[in-house]
Amino acid sequence: MGIKERRQRQRQQLREGILSAAREIASVEGWQAVTIRKIAGRIEYSPPVIYEHFESKDEIFLELMRMGYAGQLEAVEAAASAASDPEEALLEMGHAWMDFAFRSPDLYQVMYGLGGVPFSAAETRKEGEKIAVPMVKAIEEILRKDGRKVQDLEGKVTLLWATAHGLVALTMVGRIPGGQEEARSLAEQTIRDYLTAWRTA
- d(Cα 156, Cα 154) in Å, to the nearest integer? 5
- d(Cα 56, Cα 67) in Å, to the nearest integer? 17
The radius of gyration computed from the CA coordinates of the chain, to the nearest angstrom, equals 20
Is 96:165 a contact under the CB 8 Å cutoff?
Answer: no
Q: Which of 91, 130, 113, 133 is nearest to 31 (CA)?
A: 113
- The pLDDT of residue 62 is above 90: yes
Q: What pTM does this model have? A: 0.92
- d(Cα 132, Cα 136) in Å, to the nearest integer? 6
Summarize pLDDT for 136-180 with one digit per residue, the tens.
999 999 999 999 989 999 999 999 999 999 999 999 999 999 999
